């Protein structure tokens, strides 16, 4: 069975549609979505509704989904101190996202276990122990081991950092970061998703797939959105 694993869509409808097209072409029978459906792109309602319309799709909540659900002045001010660009993108999205879509995000679990042919997958956003923990490609393996210590899953799937990577732990667990669909932090800023082939003998094959799309078009749309720092924010979508 083939599974398409997507994460960190962030309201980027153009990127999402291109990734979903490739997932269909590769013959995936299931989709795992690891959260951050909206916030910071240009069409948050579309991306939320599109993902919830997918068949055989398991969805969990990401940290920005939670920010949308929990939004108030304190949330905004705290985020502004750390990242003014994200804070103002969040402020606009909270106004635009419908109440029904906010409720969808609110109802999502932070983690979910899924069994495929006897392989136990744990879907989480940051790490098994924290929704917003960063597991980067160069994270010390001891930190990764500790983050996964309390899970019995065979394979842990994460997102959050927007940087695809993977780890094999001493106890045999595998942790794979799917990368980001909507705002990739790879050098060329192109969408990345994870394609998993699960064999009936419980072995798995992993492929990070890079998808080409019109990121300059998306950058221009975001630059023209009506929020503070939108011009600076739009630069996150194109290669420096």
Residues in the chain, pLDDT under 50? none
Q: What is the distance between the alpha carbons of residues 217 and 215, in angstroms, rounded to a whole number?
A: 5
Are the C-beta atoms of residues 155 and 204 closer than 8 Å to each other? yes
The whole-number pLDDT of residue 55 equals 94
Contact call for residues 123 and 112 (beta carbons, < 8 A): yes
- Its pTM stands at 0.97
| Beta-strand runs (E) in 72-186 | 112-116, 119-123, 155-158, 165-168, 174-177
CA distance 232 to 71: 23
How much is the pLDDT for 73?
Answer: 97
**Phi, psi angles (nearest 5°) of residue 148:** -100, 5
Q: Determine the angle formed by the axes of helices 44-53 and 84-96, rounding to 10 degrees.
A: 70
């Amino acid at each position: 069975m083939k599974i398409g694993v997507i994460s960190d869509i962030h309201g980027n409808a153009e990127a999402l549609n291109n990734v979903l097209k490739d997932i269909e072409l590769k013959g995936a029978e299931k989709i795992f979505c690891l959260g951050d459906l909206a916030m910071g792109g240009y069409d948050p309602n579309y991306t939320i509704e599109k993902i919830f319309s997918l068949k055989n799709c398991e969805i969990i909540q990401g940290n920005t989904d939670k920010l949308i659900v929990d939004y108030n002045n304190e949330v905004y001010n705290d985020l502004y101190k750390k990242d003014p660009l994200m804070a103002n993108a969040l402020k606009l999205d909270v106004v635009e996202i419908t109440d029904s879509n906010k409720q969808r995000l609110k109802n999502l679990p932070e983690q979910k276990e899924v069994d495929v042919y006897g392989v136990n997958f744990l879907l989480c956003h940051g790490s098994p122990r924290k929704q917003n923990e960063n597991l980067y490609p160069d994270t010390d393996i001891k930190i990764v081991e500790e983050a996964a210590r309390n899970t019995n899953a065979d394979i842990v799937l994460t997102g959050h950092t927007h940087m695809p990577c993977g780890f094999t732990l001493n106890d045999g667990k595998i942790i794979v970061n799917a990368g980001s669909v909507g705002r990739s932090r790879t050098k060329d800023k192109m969408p990345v998703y994870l394609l998993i082939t699960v064999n009936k003998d419980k072995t798995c094959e992993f492929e990070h797939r890079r998808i080409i799309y019109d990121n300059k078009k998306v950058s221009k749309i975001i630059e023209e959105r009506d929020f503070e720092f939108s011009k600076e924010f739009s630069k996150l979508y194109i290669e420096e």
